[in-house]
């Protein structure tokens, strides 16, 4: 999907041009990092884990989806949050499958 690819590159560029934001906010939900011990906040990690578990139990379950691009995330959009989590996790280690398709 060409639109998604353009959004992916724009999102990467956004992270590189906003170093202050990357250091003070979770890259997934863009919320404040308070007790961040991993690359994203615990709330985002648990959110993705719950969706992944449901998807692995039943592949026909509905995943949160949206038409927003990665470079223009909507703060309360569940589809944006999951899309960014899967993208960043896959980018960090593309050889280890997470169990969800790239959205």
Token digits for 91?
A: 């980018």
Please tell me the chain's helix, strand, coil percentages from 3-state DSSP, rounded to the nearest 5. Answer: 50, 0, 45
Distances in Å between the Cα of 45 and the Cα atoms of 7, 19, 26, 66, 81 are 22, 22, 11, 19, 10
pTM strictly above 0.75: no
pLDDT in tens, 10-66: 556 655 555 555 567 888 888 887 666 678 888 999 999 999 999 999 988 889 989
Distances in Å between the Cα of 100 and the Cα atoms of 51, 59, 93, 97 are 9, 10, 14, 8
């Amino acid at each position: 999907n060409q639109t998604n690819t353009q959004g992916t590159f724009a999102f990467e560029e956004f992270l590189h041009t906003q170093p202050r934001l990357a250091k003070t906010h979770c890259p997934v939900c863009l919320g404040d990092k308070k007790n961040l011990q991993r690359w994203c906040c615990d709330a985002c990690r648990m959110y993705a884990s719950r969706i992944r578990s449901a998807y692995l139990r039943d592949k026909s379950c509905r995943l949160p989806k949206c038409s927003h691009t990665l470079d223009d995330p909507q703060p309360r959009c569940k589809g944006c949050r999951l899309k960014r989590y899967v993208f960043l996790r896959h980018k960090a280690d593309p050889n280890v499958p997470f169990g969800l398709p790239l959205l």
